[in-house]
């Protein structure tokens, strides 16, 4: 991973963990706790891909495992976020274009449900049966709902920050590529259609100008 990715990812993970432990965990909402750390991993994996997503997920989960007041086995959440980061990174298209908010919203819901199931499954393997007493169905519903409500305010911002740390054409270097960069990973439709129409229009104008020039030169020879 490049240095700019490491610095941005570290800052986002630390801020998300602090907010989740000090604010979200103390709201005492029914069911699950909104998982801001999961949303950070999702946003970064959608930009950086599956390899970086898995590495970021593991580091973020391990930090959450070690941060107080953690009451579970170390490495449990690291494994969950590692798998989630890898799976979310696979959703990122080859050309890096996400043209609507539908795909990220579906990814958030599936990741929230999948991470809850994985966490409960790993817990059952190590003898933690707390999910059975709380009610797994309620946890799944509340986790998906809370993360879905929180995602529009966090995931687009995280993806925008991640794009700006990239030094590739999709990240936007110069005026012409800035438009392509915003549509590349953004949640709104890309502006490539307008640029193609403009290019076709300029090509037609240039062709007609060359034809007029040819006719003028021919008349001059006569």
- The distance of Cα 23 from the centroid of its chain, to the nearest Å, equals 23
pTM for this predicted structure: 0.72
Residue with tokens 């966490």: 119
Band of residue 222 on the pLDDT scale cut at 50, 70, 90: very low
Domains of the chain in sequence order? 1-127+137-167 (1.10.1760.20)
- Helical (H) or strand (E) element with 194: helix 192-221
**In angstroms, rounded to a whole number, what is the distance separating the alpha carbons of residues 15 and 29?**
21
Average pLDDT estimate for 169-190? 39
Cβ proximity of 151 and 101 under 8 Å? no
Instruction: Name the maximum alpha-carbon separation found in the chain.
Output: 98
pLDDT tens per residue, range 96-151: 566 777 888 999 999 999 999 998 888 777 766 665 666 778 889 999 999 999 99
Higher pLDDT, 176 or 167: 167
> How do residues 156-172 score in pLDDT, each as one tens digit?
999 989 988 875 444 44
More confident site: 133 or 23:
23
Buried b (16+ CB within 10 A) or exposed e, 53-88: bbbbbbbbbbbbbeeeeeeeeebbbbbbbbbbbbbb
Cβ-contact 141, 31 below 8 angstroms: yes
Q: Which residue has the tokens 């579970």?
A: 72
């Amino acid at each position: 991973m490049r240095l700019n990715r490491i610095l941005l990812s570290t800052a986002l993970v630390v801020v998300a963990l602090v907010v989740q432990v000090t604010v979200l965990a103390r709201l005492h909402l029914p069911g699950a706790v909104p998982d801001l750390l999961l949303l950070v991993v999702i946003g970064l994996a959608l930009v950086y891909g599956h390899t970086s997503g898995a590495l970021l997920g593991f580091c973020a989960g391990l930090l959450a495992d070690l941060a107080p007041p953690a009451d579970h086995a170390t490495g449990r959440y690291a494994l969950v976020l590692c798998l989630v980061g890898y799976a979310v990174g696979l959703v990122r298209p080859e050309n890096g274009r996400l043209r609507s908010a539908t795909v990220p919203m579906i990814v958030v819901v599936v990741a929230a449900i999948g991470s809850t199931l994985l966490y409960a499954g790993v817990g059952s393997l190590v003898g933690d049966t707390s999910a059975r007493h709380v009610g797994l169905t309620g946890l799944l519903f509340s986790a998906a709902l809370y993360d879905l409500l929180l995602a529009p305010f966090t995931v687009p911002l995280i993806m925008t920050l991640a794009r700006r740390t990239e030094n590739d054409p999709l990240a936007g270097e110069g005026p012409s590529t800035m438009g392509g960069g915003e549509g590349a990973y953004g949640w709104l439709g890309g502006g490539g259609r307008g640029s193609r129409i403009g290019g076709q229009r300029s090509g037609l104008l240039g062709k007609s100008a060359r034809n007029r020039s040819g006719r003028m030169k021919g008349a001059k020879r006569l």
